[in-house]
């Protein structure tokens, strides 16, 4: 169930992938640039890469007036940024993670297990009056699951930001490794 973002009334959505030095303060500097320019960050994730000295950032940003290439150029100027690229929707593999705590009587557990299975989700915690569901997938898949869980009574919900890679052999890598 793949979903591509459609332009929002307040701008179009872009996924930007960055390879940055794994040093303190990098996230602050990059988020600060977006804030100072008035760009609306819809999602931001940071995590380790295959090399300990680098981290990968995936930023989903909604732009109403500035072209995305201008944003990419501004980010590229920051010293801790090794490489930055906008990922095109057709070349994008993206996923998010969802955890949802459902307060529900035990008589509903079988129905919730079946619903979770439909979305390739798993039940990661069970108590007599609640379940915790874990799912990963595209934003569209998780939106649909969230809607189906709402009637059961979502007590808590947590979604990660989007992570993304380009299809094929294209890669973000420091110049010394290309």
Tokens 């593999």: give the residue.
93
Please name the CATH architecture into which domain 93-164 falls: 2-Layer Sandwich (3.30)
Residue-wise pLDDT for 92-151, tens only, equals 999 999 999 999 998 999 999 999 999 999 999 999 889 999 999 999 999 999 999 999
Domain ranges of the chain: 12-87, 93-164
* Degrees, nearest 5: CA angle 137-143-145: 80
93-164 has the same fold as 12-87:
yes
pLDDT given for residue 64 in this prediction: 75
Mean pLDDT of the chain: 89
More confident residue, 129 or 158: 158
Lowest model confidence (mean pLDDT) among 6-15, 19-28, 67-76? 6-15
Pick the CATH number of 12-87 from 1.10.287.540, 3.40.50.150, 1.10.150.20, 3.30.70.260: 3.30.70.260
Q: Is the pLDDT of residue 2 over 80?
A: no
Beta-bridge mates of residue 86: 16
Residue-wise pLDDT for 37-93, tens only, equals 888 899 999 999 999 999 999 999 988 767 888 889 999 998 899 999 999 989 999
CB neighbour list of residue 171: distance below 8 Å, 6 or more residues apart: none
């Amino acid at each position: 169930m793949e979903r591509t973002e459609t332009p929002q009334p307040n701008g179009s959505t872009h996924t930007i992938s960055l390879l940055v030095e794994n040093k303190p303060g990098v996230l602050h500097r990059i988020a600060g640039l977006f804030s100072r320019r008035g760009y609306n960050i819809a999602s931001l994730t940071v995590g380790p890469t295959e090399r300990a000295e680098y981290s990968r950032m995936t930023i989903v940003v909604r732009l109403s007036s500035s072209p995305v290439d201008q944003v990419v150029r501004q980010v590229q100027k920051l010293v801790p940024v090794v490489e930055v690229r906008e990922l095109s929707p057709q070349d994008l593999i993206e996923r998010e993670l969802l955890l949802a705590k459902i307060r529900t009587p035990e008589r509903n557990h079988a129905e919730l297990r079946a619903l979770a299975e439909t979305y390739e989700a798993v039940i990661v915690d069970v108590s007599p009056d609640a379940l915790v569901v874990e799912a990963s997938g595209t934003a569209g898949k998780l939106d649909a699951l969230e809607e189906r869980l709402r009637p059961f009574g979502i007590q808590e919900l947590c979604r990660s930001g989007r992570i993304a890679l380009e299809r094929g052999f294209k890669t973000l890598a420091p110049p010394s490794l290309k």
